[in-house]
Structure 1
Amino acid sequence: MKLYAICLVKNEDDVIGQTLAHAARYCDGIFVIDNGSTDGTWDIVRDLAARDPRIVAFARTLEPYDDALRWPPYEEYHGRLSDDDWWLILDGDEFLAEDPRPVIAEASREPAEVINAWQIQFYYTEKDHAAWLAGEDTRDRPIFERRRHYRIDWQEPRLFRNRREGTWEDAYLRRKLPAPRGEDGQEGPVRVGRIARRKILNRHFQYRDPEQIEKRLRLRYGHAKFAAQVDSTDWRTKMRSSRHLHCHRPGERWHFSASGLTYYYSSWMRYVLKSRVQRAQRRFAEVIG
């Protein structure tokens, strides 16, 4: 079994080097696609690719963001790989919290074709900001040390078994996935096949410091796709109170919270109910039409 990652990035120059170095611990190949970065992200990727053959600076594109931008590496390489190999969908600010290989081995024995990930969402807190103002929080330190406050509140497919035959469209379905509260369902790939019983844990550092948060918000502000998530370019709107989050320390287990699970399952139920209503409406329209 081999594992290959597809990483779609945009303006992650403060963290992409750490992301790829971490993924290289367990991936046999990492295909990076840059979606129009205007900072040093692509230069960092190319530099790392020149020194590590597992990292591939696959392509740059200026097309509007779409999940389908990830799939060219799959289309090019899946026929050369084994049906026992797997793919990881990785964002430029994410780090798996555990070695995926034992999880994949367990899923393969079931046998399953999809592994869902619990998203460990890290937040920028008042404690982090105090350290930032005091000059104690700098980008020279690993992101694991800088951001420790988190909530586990989302789950989505991230690992998929390779299929040698057919195309990406043959191997995957596209349907509405539940989206965070306040958003409509978003188009996303859902693997045809059995979902593994065991979930993997994935760390997501989307809010790292004031400069990065503001850059992230400005990139998304005014775009219809992110309208429900981003209604301001003020980084302070994304700062959270540490009192409502878990604080992770090295060696500790990850903790689920009632608020995080409630957030996820309520979002999921809203999606299910909405889907059933829409399906009933379509059937009714067919009957009377």
Structure 2
Amino acid sequence: MHPFSVVIIARNEAHDIGRTLEPLRALTDDIVVVDSGSTDGTQDIARSMGARVIETEWLGYARTKNLGNDAARHDWVLSLDADEVVSPELARSLQAWQPRPDTAWAVDRLANFCGRWVWHSGWYPDWKVRLFNRHEVRWVGEYVHEHLDLPAHYRVERLHGKLWHYSYRSEADYLAKMEQYTRLSAEERFRRGQRPVWWRKHLGPAFRIFRTLVLKQGWRDGRLGWKLARLDARMVRRRYELLEEMWRMA
């Protein structure tokens, strides 16, 4: 098995971090947890399971992830969130993995919403590039919308096996996380000088419901698909409400 480091960003993830770290201990000798001010014991759990913890203020997704990549001991990095778990099939793929030049690898994320797997609704399939050479690939983006900047000549291969994403334990958990993300997204738009447009606030949610249920086949997820469509539309409207508020106070 070719060595690679695992880099995880976290803040108050005591509920999830142990489950995330457990299968990784058989895959790597270098797990880096970049913690942005946890107060719930996340750091203690991570250290007890063999991870190195780097404490930092929140720098935005891209800069925080790059901070962890810079601290990695190996050239190759598997980048994870604190609520993502490597499935046994994906673990076997990682054990058999061998690096190739000018190549990065993507994993297929399967989300769990309130105890149920989401197979449609725009949530799946969800291929994400997560395994890469940290000397050649960096996270870029503003405060919220980060992505990996792959060189133009790079190829992206796919690893077999699911990356289980235990995204939201309850509807309240979803709303709390989406409120935080939506606020950051609105702040990013405000910094770019984007002004709210009335039709986006009023028509955007309706289109999001249509997109989730019809274009992304959310109807196949049954009642869960309807719930996800409504929640998603609610967050779209909320983003423009926050943006309007920021411009009023400017």
Structure 2 length-normalised TM: 0.60
Q: 1:31 offset after TM fit, Å?
A: 0.7
The one-letter code of the counterpart of 2:220 is H
Q: What is the number of equivalent residue pairs in this alignment?
A: 190
Gaps of 5+ in 1: 125-145, 164-170, 177-184, 232-236, 247-289
Query: 1:159/1:174 Cα in 2 relative to 1: closer, same or farther (>3 Å)?
Result: closer
Whether the aligned pair in 2 keeps the contact of 1:26 and 1:101 (CA below 8 Å) is no
Matches of 1:196 and 1:221 in 2, distance apart?
A: 30
2:56 corresponding residue in structure 1: 60
Whether the aligned pair in 2 keeps the contact of 1:115 and 1:158 (CA below 8 Å) is yes
Query: 1:106/1:21 Cα in 2 relative to 1: closer, same or farther (>3 Å)?
Result: closer
2:125 corresponding residue in structure 1: 153
The one-letter code of the counterpart of 2:137 is Y
The list of structure 1 runs, each at least 4 consecutive aligned residues, that deviate by more than 4 angstroms after superposition, is 103-107, 173-176, 225-228, 240-243
Query: 1:162/1:33 Cα in 2 relative to 1: closer, same or farther (>3 Å)?
Result: closer
1:172-230 alpha-carbon deviations (Å, 9 max, x no partner): 25677xxxxxxxx94422333633433343221212223422332343343325899xx
1:122 matched to 2:118? The reply is no
Matches of 1:210 and 1:174 in 2, distance apart?
A: 30
1:222 corresponding residue in structure 2: 183
Whether the aligned pair in 1 keeps the contact of 2:10 and 2:82 (CA below 8 Å) is yes
The one-letter code of the counterpart of 2:61 is D
The equivalences for 1:131-150 within 5 A come to 146-150=115-119
Secondary structure of 2:183's partner?
coil
1:172 matched to 2:162? The reply is no
Q: Indicate which of 79, 88, 94 corresponds to 2:78.
A: 88
Whether the aligned pair in 2 keeps the contact of 1:94 and 1:203 (CA below 8 Å) is yes
Matches of 1:158 and 1:11 in 2, distance apart?
A: 22
Q: Indicate which of 211, 214, 220 corresponds to 1:244.
A: 220
2:150 corresponding residue in structure 1: 191
The one-letter code of the counterpart of 2:111 is Q
Matches of 1:52 and 1:45 in 2, distance apart?
A: 10
The one-letter code of the counterpart of 1:70 is K
Matches of 1:243 and 1:215 in 2, distance apart?
A: 25
The one-letter code of the counterpart of 1:16 is I
The one-letter code of the counterpart of 2:49 is D
Query: 1:64/1:22 Cα in 2 relative to 1: closer, same or farther (>3 Å)?
Result: same
Whether the aligned pair in 1 keeps the contact of 2:5 and 2:72 (CA below 8 Å) is no
Whether the aligned pair in 1 keeps the contact of 2:62 and 2:139 (CA below 8 Å) is no
Matches of 2:187 and 2:91 in 1, distance apart?
A: 30
1:100-148 alpha-carbon deviations (Å, 9 max, x no partner): 464474453x555310122212223xxxxxxxxxxxxxxxxxxxxx444
Percentage of matched positions with identical amino acids: 17
Q: 1:71 offset after TM fit, Å?
A: 1.6
Whether the aligned pair in 2 keeps the contact of 1:19 and 1:94 (CA below 8 Å) is yes
Secondary structure of 2:168's partner?
coil
2:166 corresponding residue in structure 1: 205
Secondary structure of 1:115's partner?
strand
Query: 1:215/1:88 Cα in 2 relative to 1: closer, same or farther (>3 Å)?
Result: same
Query: 1:123/1:221 Cα in 2 relative to 1: closer, same or farther (>3 Å)?
Result: same
The equivalences for 1:250-265 within 5 A come to none
Gaps of 5+ in 2: 190-200, 202-208, 223-250
The answer to which structure has the higher helix fraction is 2
Q: 1:16 offset after TM fit, Å?
A: 1.8
1:74 matched to 2:69? The reply is yes
Q: 1:69 offset after TM fit, Å?
A: 0.9
Matches of 2:66 and 2:29 in 1, distance apart?
A: 18
The one-letter code of the counterpart of 2:53 is A
Q: 1:34 offset after TM fit, Å?
A: 1.7
Whether the aligned pair in 1 keeps the contact of 2:107 and 2:158 (CA below 8 Å) is no
Whether the aligned pair in 1 keeps the contact of 2:17 and 2:45 (CA below 8 Å) is no
Whether the aligned pair in 1 keeps the contact of 2:13 and 2:42 (CA below 8 Å) is no
Query: 1:26/1:226 Cα in 2 relative to 1: closer, same or farther (>3 Å)?
Result: farther
What is the RMSD computed on CA atoms of the aligned residues?
Answer: 3.7
Q: 1:24 offset after TM fit, Å?
A: 2.2
1:19-73 alpha-carbon deviations (Å, 9 max, x no partner): 1223223232211112244x51xx2332341x333x1112231x34231211223
